[in-house]
Amino acid sequence: MPISLVDVASLAGVSLATASRVVSGSPYKVSSKTRERVLKAVGELGYTPNALARALVTDSNPIIGVIVGSVTDPYFAEICRGVEDFARPHEFLTIVCNADRNLSIEMAYLQMLREYKSLGIIIAGGMYTNTPETEAIREIVRKATEQGIQIVSVGDRFFEGVPTITADHRCGLYDLTNYLIHLGHKEIAFVEGPPDFTTSTSRKQGYLDAMDDANLEPLTYSGSFDYQDGRSSALRILSDGLPEAIIAFNDDSAVGVLNTLRQAGVKIPQDVSVAGVDDIRYAEVLDLTTVNVPMYQLGAMAAHAIFNWEENPPPKQVILPHRVVPRGTTARRVKLATIVSTVEGYPS
Amino acid sequence: MPISLVDVASLAGVSLATASRVVSGSPYKVSSKTRERVLKAVGELGYTPNALARALVTDSNPIIGVIVGSVTDPYFAEICRGVEDFARPHEFLTIVCNADRNLSIEMAYLQMLREYKSLGIIIAGGMYTNTPETEAIREIVRKATEQGIQIVSVGDRFFEGVPTITADHRCGLYDLTNYLIHLGHKEIAFVEGPPDFTTSTSRKQGYLDAMDDANLEPLTYSGSFDYQDGRSSALRILSDGLPEAIIAFNDDSAVGVLNTLRQAGVKIPQDVSVAGVDDIRYAEVLDLTTVNVPMYQLGAMAAHAIFNWEENPPPKQVILPHRVVPRGTTARRVKLATIVSTVEGYPS
DNA sequence: TTGTATGCGTTATCAA
DNA sequence: TTGATAACGCATACAA
């Protein structure tokens, strides 16, 4: 970038300070005459202010960073869109950073965003609780907030003094499990998320609570985030024998379960009901019963919080409502005996 | 960020220059004794160098930017992953920027990445050709390359002096169309991508060429990127009457076509074959015939080009191989008459 | 081997 | 209203 403000100033025949005043939009203190001269020079030279230098001296940068757990997870894509749609009108650029659910990488991005003096940072997703970096992250987050950067956590994750905007993952699973129970199912299996991951724990707890409240025996299978994880869990379920219903930690793994079961000849929902969580776009496409987590709104609200921090400081915590979305992969439990007994003229 | 190098220097009792030498890893010119003192001060103070200031003075920044057409499009998510997996070992941070297929936004990110002195910029995806910003973008790209930033285009898009890594979209569709022709289909419809978009044009051309070479009459429907677009195209197809096969511009809209047709009672592939392009992850999940575009490799190669620019300058253009992936949504054309004639003992 | 001084491109604080 | 000049945090050419 060879062309700087000094070039503009000299071409316009004014001082650097004056040139700066007009391009930086500082409180009017320059005559329209000189302003025009400067603007003309800017145009002729094709000058654009250097964001780096500007951020260095103003200690602020019109960007907001979104640190996501995984770029390839549609869950986060929706959150990003929510953030961006809100940031765009403010003329802020959104930077998305893929931490790959790795706390070291997350730290690096956090540090970067901090050094860049970004207005705000949105940390999206849950976290692994069994790693040593946890404390270091909290430290960086603390420093960043002290520095004046507005941080909000979007997901099942809490930092001291940082507002959290999330859905109630425990309750979401509680409701979904209950929905299946009300459908008449008793043997309801849960394919867990990755171990030692906050969202996993919360969701599993919701399932366990619902089963417990209904005096039903819980049945869990290990699992993780992805389609392939769902597939391998399904294979284990198949070899154990089918329950009446299966809930997976999230939609992606639920789809893995769904496909594997179907390929094994299992009819869904006739033989077994299957449900996921999140309501990613493909859940609708595949007619998968799930729990809608308002990802877009989560992102939009986080951005809203950042842009209205001063006038309207965000509360410690906001819980956005979830909603069980019944679709075609779940059905009322129908025992063979029941069928026969209900068919006219054929008493059991 | 209150704590800077001067703090470190004074605490260690050395000059700013000396402190800088040890933290910046410059060619050894400092005794191990003082080095140790500085390092100790760094530790005690929790000092971290400021990336902004460093970039400003060194005119370089260990980040690489990926500008994508859409964050919610899984196509780009794969590309990002390819880039990141390559950049990570180099200790470079990857920044993903969502241009939303909007050239103004793209320009803003381009400018930002340029001012940030990023090592490289990867521009992913095609572009709209009917907008006035085209020239301005070329100008920014030119300036950025002059400035020493390594830019590579990943997709159906070409800039003067900028290497392009892409698949042959025209040929991909040519091959896919041919595949359907070899399956015995003659009435093959094409659901187009958005008008005036480079990738749309290329893919459509491939379809048209294949149809022309086979002396078949082309039949096109307007469409766009998304699932919903596929749905509305499918409705129009339904009202026109079903062809023998349908190719959609990409997988996402193909899935829209698929679902809409199925909901209307159409059997796939028995009544009509359906195929998409890209081979996004859900294409496999849905058993959709498609053309595999090596998205991950596209991203990885782009990153490779950037990191090996000096020793091994990238060629003007690299075309990565595509591959028709036959799956369950396409089948050989079977006329009723044909069936009968092939069933043993029942000549037509 | 270490320190001094200058510059990177801006904004901001003072005088003028 | 405008202009010097000092920061911002760091790297480096040059001097010691």
pLDDT tens-digit profile of A305-324?
999 998 998 999 999 999 99
Q: Cβ(A206)–Cβ(A171) under 8 Å?
A: yes
Sign of CA dihedral B91, B84, A82, A280: negative
The token pair that represents A245 in the structure block: 């219903």
Q: Please give the Cα distance from A110 to A186 (Å, whole number).
A: 45
SS3 A220: strand
pLDDT tens-digit profile of A133-156?
999 999 999 999 999 999 999 999
Q: For residue B32, what pLDDT is reported?
A: 85
**DSSP state letter for B89:** G
Q: Cβ(A293)–Cβ(A252) under 8 Å?
A: no
Tally of CB atoms within 10 A around A196: 12
Residue at A341: amino acid letter: S
SS3 B325: strand
Partners of A154 in the β-ladder: A124, A165
Transcribe A35-90 into DSSP letters. Answer: HHHHHHHHHHHT----HHHHHHHHS-EEEEEEEES-TT-HHHHHHHHHHHHHHGGG
E-strand spans in chain B? 61-68, 93-98, 118-124, 150-154, 164-167, 188-191, 219-221, 245-248, 273-275, 290-292, 317-320, 323-325
Any B CB within 8 A of A88 CB:
yes
Residue A235 has pLDDT above 70, yes or no: yes
Pick B147's closest partner by Cβ from A1, A51, A143. Answer: A1
This prediction has a pTM of 0.93
Residue at A65: amino acid letter: G
SS3 B218: coil
Transcribe A207-219 into DSSP letters. Answer: HHHHHHHTT---E
Q: Please give the Cα distance from B274 to A296 (Å, whole number).
A: 31
Q: Cβ(A81)–Cβ(A37) under 8 Å?
A: no
Q: Cβ(B245)–Cβ(B275) under 8 Å?
A: yes
Mention the CATH class of domain B55-167+295-322: alpha beta
CATH tag, A169-292+325-338: 3.40.50.2300
Residue B340 has pLDDT above 50, yes or no: no
Task: Provide mean pLDDT across the span B169-197.
Answer: 98
Q: Does the beta-carbon distance from A72 to B53 stay under 8 Å?
A: no
Any A CB within 8 A of B88 CB:
yes
Q: Does the beta-carbon distance from B63 to A94 stay under 8 Å?
A: no
Q: For residue A335, what pLDDT is reported?
A: 62
CB pairs under 8 A between A and B: 109
What residue is closest to C1 (Cα–C1')?
A: B30
Q: Please give the Cα distance from A260 to A262 (Å, whole number).
A: 5
pLDDT tens-digit profile of A62-81?
999 999 999 999 999 999 99
Nearest CA in chain A to B97: A95
Main-chain phi, psi angles of B289, to 5 degrees? -65, 140
Residue B346 has pLDDT above 50, yes or no: no
Q: Please give the Cα distance from A77 to A80 (Å, whole number).
A: 5
pLDDT tens-digit profile of B123-158?
999 999 999 999 999 999 999 999 999 999 999 999
B248 burial (CB, 10 Å; 0-12 / 13-18 / 19+) is buried
Main-chain phi, psi angles of A317, to 5 degrees? -150, 135
pLDDT tens-digit profile of A266-309?
999 999 999 999 999 999 999 999 999 999 999 999 999 999 99
Q: For residue A324, what pLDDT is reported?
A: 98
Q: Is the CB of A34 under 7 A from strand D?
A: yes
Q: Cβ(A173)–Cβ(A206) under 8 Å?
A: yes
Residue A343 has pLDDT above 60, yes or no: no
What is the domain partition of chain A in residue ranges?
Answer: 5-50, 55-167+295-322, 169-292+325-338
Q: For residue A26, what pLDDT is reported?
A: 77
A31 CA – D2 C1', rounded, Å:
10
CA dihedral B174, A72, A195, A212 (to 10 degrees): -90
Q: Does the beta-carbon distance from B48 to A111 stay under 8 Å?
A: yes
CATH architecture, range B5-50: Orthogonal Bundle (1.10)
E-strand spans in B52-107? 61-68, 93-98
Select the residue from A60, A79, A98 to test the B interface by mutation, using most B Cβ atoms within 10 A. Answer: A98
- Print burial letters for B6-45: b (CB count within 10 Å at least 16), e (below 16): eebbebbebeeebbbbbbeeeeeebeeebbebbbebbeeb
Residue A253 has pLDDT above 60, yes or no: yes
Transcribe B236-300 into DSSP letters. Answer: HHHHH---SEEEESSHHHHHHHHHHHHHTT--TTTT-EEE-SB--HHHHHTT-BEEE--HHHHHH
Residue A339 has pLDDT above 60, yes or no: no
Q: Do domains B5-50 and B169-292+325-338 have the same CATH topology?
A: no
Tally of CB atoms within 10 A around B339: 11
